[in-house]
Structure 1
Amino acid sequence: MQNKNKTVVKSLTILNLFRIHSRLTLNEIIHLTEIPKTSAHRMIGSLSEMGFLTKDSDGYYSLGLLFLEFGHLVAERMDLRKIAKPHMEALRDEVNEAVNLTMRDGDEAVYLEKVDTDHPVRLFTKVGRRSPLYTGACSRIILAYTDEKEQEAYLQNMELKSFGTKTIVDKDVLMDILRQSRLNGFAISYSELENSTVSIAAPIFNLSGQVIGGLSVAGPELRFSKERITELVKKVKQTANNISKELGYNKQLM
């Protein structure tokens, strides 16, 4: 473990050089970091293979395009949270239920933001919480709008486990629900992550028309009658659409 940590530290030392220098040769990197030539050569090779560094025809190294991708992801997540927050607060004030914002991170959804209700009986969800994409409306709505081939690959490699009394663990049933959610424009879950709870979620899209998040209203099942669910679906979908528009999404152009 110690050796791995040292390797990571040395690799980051190399990458940090490019915060100041736009281009460096192998010898310049060795001189600036004082890392032995053999180790430096091995680390630079690994960083290049993974896309963190790129080498030009003159033998100079610079940061790879992977950092551009990371930069876009960080900016997108910050923008989504900032833009969504006022809409979430307005929805919370209107329906007096907790409102959650999720975003995909690998095979999971991470909760980026939450605005809570003042109800004494409520659903507690922390920012930073993670859940599998297949369970819970606010996670599953992201999966529903993911490319079908990617969905299939995800489900082939994922073992479906129960978290609540009604977690969906049958892959055929799950695929049907994903298709129906995409057709309806929303997802709903009952007791999937927490027992006796309901969550209603709609997708959020970016400028390119890609799903980048989910917005949900969630709370104890006792407050979610069929009549109220119908009304909440409309409000959640409208709020998610408003956020998408502010992010630059235009359905008519897609």
Structure 2
Amino acid sequence: MTKLIQSVQRAAAICRLLTTQPETSLHELQAALQLPKATTYGLLATLVAERIVYKNPLTAAYSLGPAALVGDQPLTGDQLVRLLRPNLQQLASDRNLAVHVAVRQADRAHYLAKIEAPHPQHVSAQPGQDDSLAITATGKLLLSASPADFQASYLASLTAPLARQLQDDLSTISRRNVAYDYGEQTSQIACVATGLRDHRGQVIASVSLVLPATATSIDLRTGEQQLLALTAALAPRI
């Protein structure tokens, strides 16, 4: 009988755990695998060096890395939020703005998470809430990433003026991976959204910043640049 290599078995156990629990700490991994701390850390350091595991510089927690993600199943909503939360909290803190994560469910934008600003200035969507695809930055971004047949059927359900406006906008939104809401849903807020792509290049969620209606074009463009940089940095990890 071939003798199995214990270190490889342990490394595989780490990867299996991270498949379902991204953003897991060294202590949590050590406890789950019942390994000495030094052994666990050495295995993780090797896996990080090989890009099989990713170590978040913000939290020192571990997730699967880009080398392990090819062909892997997409993350669930809960797993995605857990993976993104440290980076989104940092953005919310830096800008003092709420950050939303949403996905398309049927013909609505469904919010998975809201990362609140340290000092909230206005009302924004809550986790579990659904919004229109037609008049929100998040919705328009998700619609632009939807299959063409869905776009056509959805546009056909709208009033003719709104459908024409969206039709004109969708190709630009898709190309730039950015959508805006200039108070279309409510006069109290403006919003900018970008698409979060996975390692396959597919948009799996929208990430948005919610700004007060008094935000300037410079504020919105700054938010756009920060979101694009963030989603580009996150893409290899999902």
Q: TM-score, normalised by structure 2?
A: 0.64
8 Å contact kept, 1:101–1:213: yes
Q: Which residue in the other structure is 2:136 paired with?
A: 136
Aligned to 1:225: 216
Counterpart position of 2:177: 185
The corresponding residue for 2:113 is: 113
Per-residue deviation at 1:142? 0.9
Cα distance in 1, alignment partners of residues 142 and 148 from structure 2: 12
Instruction: Check whether the contact 1:97–1:219 (CA below 8 A) recurs between aligned residues.
Output: yes
Q: Does 1:195 align with 2:187?
A: yes
| Alpha-carbon shift at residue 120 of structure 1 (Å) | 5.1
Q: Secondary structure at the match of 1:170?
A: helix
Query: Unaligned stretches of 5+ in structure 2?
Result: 1-72
SS of equivalent residue, structure 1 residue 179 = helix
- The alignment status of 1:213 with 2:213, answered yes or no, reads no
Shift of 1:93: 1.4
Counterparts of 2:118 and 2:90, CA distance in 1: 14
CA contact (8 A) 2:138 2:207 kept: yes
Residues in 1 aligned to 2:113 and 2:161: alpha-carbon distance in whole angstroms: 27
* TM-score, normalising length: structure 1: 0.60
In the alignment, structure 1 segments of 5+ residues that lack a partner are 1-71, 161-167, 248-254
Q: What amino acid does structure 2 have at the position aligned with 1:79?
A: Q
- What amino acid does structure 2 have at the position aligned with 1:240? T
Aligned residue type for 1:141: L
Secondary structure, counterpart of 2:168 in structure 1: helix
Q: Distance in 1 between matches of 2:235 and 2:199?
A: 8
Count of aligned positions: 166
1:33-44 paired onto structure 2 within 5 Å: none
Aligned match of 1:159: 158
Runs of 4+ in 1 over 6 A off after TM superposition: none
The CA RMSD over aligned residues, in Å, is 2.0
- The answer to whether 1:237 aligns with 2:237 is no
Q: Matches of 1:120 and 1:112 in 2, distance apart?
A: 19
| C-alpha contact 1:81 1:112 (8 A) present in aligned 2 | yes
The aligned runs of 1:34-113 (5 Å cut-off) are: 75-113=75-113
Tell me the CA shift for residue 203 of structure 1.
0.2
User: What percentage of aligned pairs have identical amino acids?
Assistant: 20
Flag the structure with larger Rg.
1
The amino acid that maps onto 1:181 is I
